[in-house]
Chain A
């Protein structure tokens, strides 16, 4: 979650810190490294410069020492005195001086430049030092000194190469008074011992080279510490200072005869820098340690900064889960503390708003009583407490009328008044308002009669509204938690509702729920879902109820009545599903099916020789536009149906909804040769004026007037006057619901044209109808023959 797309603040801070620290460390390291490199360079240079200084000083000291000694010796009278003596004597005198400084060579030259004496020390195979005088073939041979120019030179010390051995030689004149009578010289050998000694003094390696015309001659060197040998190539590298492993420096000590005497000082860098390397490693270690520590520190800081934020997140999450009692407390920093306070304020606002929302969502706006959802919640809890209770669903009757007559304001006032009465009613444990005129009362278990009697006085008292005294009427459905189950509270409420409907239906004050009420309602639910399939799958079937022409007492018409042959429930009565079809917008489809079936049946009968006219019930849905009209007209034309073969029965209600349109459609149908009939006449509110407008040819008196005609004077008056009215308006009359012969006769007597009812026949499926017709006395004669013929044929 924290590391998904956007990284957490902590990791951001940590990354920033790490970046900064690493940068600083890198810069530091780089600087250190550079400083170290510089230090190395300086160190290396210093070592060599120092070595060079030491070397120069030492070399000069030696020269000075030699030169001073030579001068001193030259002034020694003993030596002067011996200068003119025989060679051998002088050589001894010279050697005597030589020994004083242990020089490696001693020379004496006379004023002509002839070598008078020359003593060279050598070390023999046994390591004993020997003096080697100048080798002469004979006493008379003279040898001139090879560097006479040195004698008059101010430079008293020279480099003297003799027998491939290089000497540092210092010459001094021997004078008699101011007259130079000769020279003596003393010299030290320049060899590896010297190099070693210098190397010890300077702590760098020393090599002596003679350079002439780019050729090198190695004189001596202090020896190598490593396996590298002091070769010509190596010495050249040292001179050019181009060996990466070594640092070197050269010092030209003397230049003579186009020859340079060069001292090369060199040192292995590794040796020089060994100490520094140790420090470098230590520095790296320290650096790593510092880095680790600072990273840890950065982590701590990042954690420290984000800790209150995380705490905040945690607390806010906790609150988000609905734990509003908790407060956010952060006191790490002012800003975060402020943020926490704001969170708390926000939380408070949210809590209040939520309270309001919850209250609103669980209470009815109008009455402020708890609503359906509160009821569900309450009942759930109540059921869990296993305390039995009674659920009353109370409906204020005729509230719509009140709304219509006095307006909704008054209606609302009435509802509020009832709510208040319920609240003040001591018997009612808790009241809920389901909306509109419906209330639910939860009452503790007690006898129902007592309960109702206890309730009514409070509820039925008159309500005075602006000088109008209103008397409330109620219907109450009762469900008992003990008897009717508490598994599903919604079901319990539904049961109370069913009971209420039952009470309303039966115009009772109250009705306790009974399981038998349920079948219809549950079936309706199933039927609603199944009707569509029923049409498609041909589960519907048409039944035909005969209509008897009273003047001929012969059968002339039938009414097609739809029945639902449900595969599971058996035959479903039309009352159950017609209304469903109406409410679910399937009426048009149903009617069309019925129309088609009826026409097919008419054709079938016509073919059989009994052209019985069929009446079809159409609904308001079919009168909304011309689509159904066109449909049936097309069918009539296709099958060449005779005029007036199909009667379309329309209820008053169907016309009432939109009389103008209905009238137009009906006229249209009439023009195309359909007979139109007003169905269920007398139950609706249609006025005679409306009736007059309708292009109907027939009027069908509702069964409610006919069923008890013989017992009711009122009904007789209604039927009689209706027949008269119809006749006067040029309409024929159909009476349905005839259940006995007396009624039939009465109607015949009063000129009613057609009779329909169980006395004649109940609606029958087509095969039963055919059988019934054959057996009935009402068979139209013109059709009998054919039927008989068929019967004969059938018997044959």
Chain B
């Protein structure tokens, strides 16, 4: 969690100075008006400009692996739990455990399956389709991770306060989508058309979830019996 926090912190640090054009701030709150973290927020231009080069550059760049989103397998859990990436990208899986994992996704169109030996790193196939990728591990049934593949460069995840900040190239009409695998709505998302003005101050959106999120599955062995520590 600490790593996750640091990563997010790093993102925020990098994003802000790079804001060139209009910045959109989206605050996601639950029915109790409390900010919800880890919500995926992305904006799709309603009139998709033909000249916009998709995947010209990654929006989020890890320091050490340029162009690839990293999902770690640590303590028999996917970290982060939710990842959002742009179509055409590859995911990088890092097995930080001392055992082999068998990562798979059988849902949607981005399906893959491979094993990663302990301490190794492996890239997923190129994610050619948008949509949810529900991942699991064939060896550890409880492991669960989600990747949302979007066809837009404008995506982000809410912070601890439920706030996500997106920098857009230009203002205009956008479909704002808020997504979470446990959001019990159709396609686990809510969407809203917004008009991004060129004035930064005006582009603050507060999205209130109509329902609470379902319980996020705990990536822990639910069995009563577990291997002894250090086995």
Contact = CB atoms under 8 A, between A and B. Distances in A.
B18 to A, nearest CB: 33
Q: Pick the most buried of A75, A77, A80, A177: most chain B CB atoms within 10 A of its CB.
A: A177
A179 B132 contact: yes
Contacts of A212: none
A178 interface: yes
A175 B181 CA distance: 13
Interface in A150-179: 175-179
A261 interface: no
Contacts of A84: 106-107, 111
Contact of B144 (A77, A80, A178): A178
B181 A176 contact: no
B135 interface: yes
Contacts, number: 46
A577 interface: no
17 contacts: A77-B102, A77-B104, A77-B138, A80-B104, A81-B106, A84-B107, A176-B105, A176-B107, A176-B134, A176-B136, A177-B134, A178-B136, A178-B181, A179-B132, A179-B181, A181-B106, A181-B107
A83 interface: yes
A178 B143 CA distance: 8
A179 B146 contact: yes
Contacts of A178: 134, 136, 144, 181, 217
Nearest to B182: A178
A93 to B, nearest CB: 12
B52 to A, nearest CB: 31
A70 to B, nearest CB: 15
Interface string A76-119: 01001101100000000000000000000000000000000000
Main SS class of interface, A: mixed
A176 B104 contact: yes
B111 A177 contact: no
Interface in B113-155: 113, 132, 134-138, 141, 143-146
Contact of A177 (B102, B113, B136): B136
Interface of A: 75, 77, 80-81, 83-84, 175-179, 181
The residue among B107, B145, B146 with the most chain A CB atoms within 10 A of its own CB is B107
Given A77-B104, A177-B135, A181-B107, 4 more contacts: A81-B106, A83-B106, A177-B137, A177-B146
Interface string B187-231: 000000000000000000000000000000100000000000000
Interface of B: 102, 104-107, 111, 113, 132, 134-138, 141, 143-146, 181, 217
B138 A177 contact: no
A176 B113 contact: no
Nearest to A111: B107
B134 A179 contact: yes
A177 B112 CA distance: 13
Contacts of A176: 104-107, 134-136
B111 A175 contact: no
Nearest to B111: A84
A177 B182 CA distance: 13
Enumerate the 8 nearest inter-chain pairs by beta-carbon distance, A residue then B residue, closest first: A179-B134, A177-B136, A178-B144, A177-B144, A176-B134, A176-B107, A178-B217, A177-B134
A80 B138 CA distance: 10
Contacts of B113: 77, 81
A176 B111 CA distance: 10
B107 A179 contact: yes
A181 B141 CA distance: 15
Contacts of B107: 84, 176, 179, 181
Contacts of B135: 176-177
Nearest to A79: B106
A179 B131 CA distance: 13
Contacts of A175: 134, 136
Nearest to B216: A178
